[in-house]
């Protein structure tokens, strides 16, 4: 008897993002197990007299990267799986390849689906379903397969923008073939915006320390704050000097008052040059600190990626 068909497979956005992040930071291809549960979807009433057949939804709630749960021939090692784990299937992520299951992936999926001791119990808690119906299956084999791949032709392999494709399958044990299933990413898209209409945090946010310390950008913060205050005072002083030099009074530069008025303009020009020099020095120092912070962030990212790759 063939296993019951799935209508679709769902996975949460954070789980899929975590899987893609693990794939993108790994130096090579990765494989692992998928965990979750299988539930009945509400039945859709029909106009004809035929009874409505309940459809199944497989929800992926977690994954585990484990390349050692099958042999080189593709046969799954039962001792490598926990006997009470809710295994839905497994996943394979490989670089620069097409979204087509390979022969080894076919062998692994076929071997995993045949292990009936790891079948998942189907949740029959839907009130619209009759729990005592003998036609409803109670167990679902681990036949879900999720394939992830990066594009086969990548024009910018050193780019920091990663593009990944994914596709979900259900392995039909009776006919021994992969049947594509739609993958529903929960919490992504306009359909799920209504779920966040009323939200209240379960815990208060921690107090943030806003002191000028803890980063190379914060060294000498008191000195920079004093210089900023001094620059503000200089600006107010310069604004006071500009008073009385409106455009309409430029006619005073011609005539008997031209000498005294010109001396005032020259004094104002000198103060403006001093102000511009101060601003230039502040810009140079700010650029140097920004460059220092960028180098510091680059070192931290490199350290994080190296530690993630070593795992």
Binned at pLDDT 50, 70 and 90, residue 55 comes out as confident
Phi, psi (rounded to 5 degrees) for 12:
-75, 155
Question: What is the band of 212 on the pLDDT scale with cuts at 50, 70, 90?
Answer: very low
> What is the average per-residue pLDDT within 240-253?
56
Taking CA 157 as the corner, what is the angle to CA 90 and CA 293, rounded to the nearest 5 degrees? 100
* Residue 132, pLDDT score: 42
Report the range of poorest mean pLDDT among 40-44, 112-116, 155-159, 246-250: 155-159
Can you tell me the distance from the alpha carbon of 73 to that of 108, in angstroms, rounded to the nearest whole number? Answer: 8
pLDDT in the model for residue 216: 46
The Cα–Cα gap between 264 and 253 comes to 11
Give the number of C-alpha atoms closer than 13 A to the C-alpha of residue 75, restricted to the C-beta side.
4
Under 8 Å between Cβ of 192 and 10: no
Identify the pLDDT of residue 106.
93
Q: Which residues pair with 65 in a beta bridge?
A: 32
């Amino acid at each position: 008897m063939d296993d019951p068909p799935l209508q679709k497979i769902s996975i949460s956005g954070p789980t899929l993002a975590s899987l893609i992040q693990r794939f993108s930071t790994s130096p090579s291809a990765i494989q692992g197990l998928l965990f979750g549960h299988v539930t009945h979807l509400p039945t859709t009433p029909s106009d004809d007299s035929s009874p409505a057949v309940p459809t199944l939804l497989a929800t992926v709630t977690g994954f585990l990267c484990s390349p050692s749960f099958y042999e080189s021939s593709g046969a799954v090692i039962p001792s490598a799986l926990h006997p009470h784990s809710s295994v839905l299937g497994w996943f394979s992520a490989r670089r620069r390849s097409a979204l087509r299951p390979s022969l080894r992936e076919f062998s692994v999926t076929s071997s995993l689906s045949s292990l009936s001791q790891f079948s998942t119990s189907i949740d029959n808690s839907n009130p619209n379903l009759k729990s005592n119906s003998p036609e409803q299956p109670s167990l679902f084999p681990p036949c879900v397969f999720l394939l992830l791949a990066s594009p086969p032709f990548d024009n910018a392999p050193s780019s920091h923008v990663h593009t990944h494709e994914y596709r979900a399958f259900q392995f039909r044990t009776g006919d021994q073939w992969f049947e594509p299933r739609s993958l529903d990413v929960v919490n992504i898209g306009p359909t799920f915006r209504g779920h966040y209409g009323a939200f209240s945090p379960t815990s208060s946010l921690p107090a943030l320390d806003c002191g000028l310390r803890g980063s190379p950008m914060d060294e000498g913060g008191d000195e920079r704050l004093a210089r900023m205050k001094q620059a503000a005072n200089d600006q107010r002083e310069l604004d006071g000097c500009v008073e009385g030099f409106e455009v309409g009074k430029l006619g005073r530069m011609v005539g008997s008052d031209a000498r005294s008025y010109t001396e005032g303009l020259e004094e104002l020009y000198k103060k403006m040059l001093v102000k511009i020099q101060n601003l230039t020095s502040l810009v140079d120092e700010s650029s140097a600190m920004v460059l220092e912070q960028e180098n510091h962030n680059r070192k931290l990212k490199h350290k994080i990626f190296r530690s993630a790759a070593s795992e």
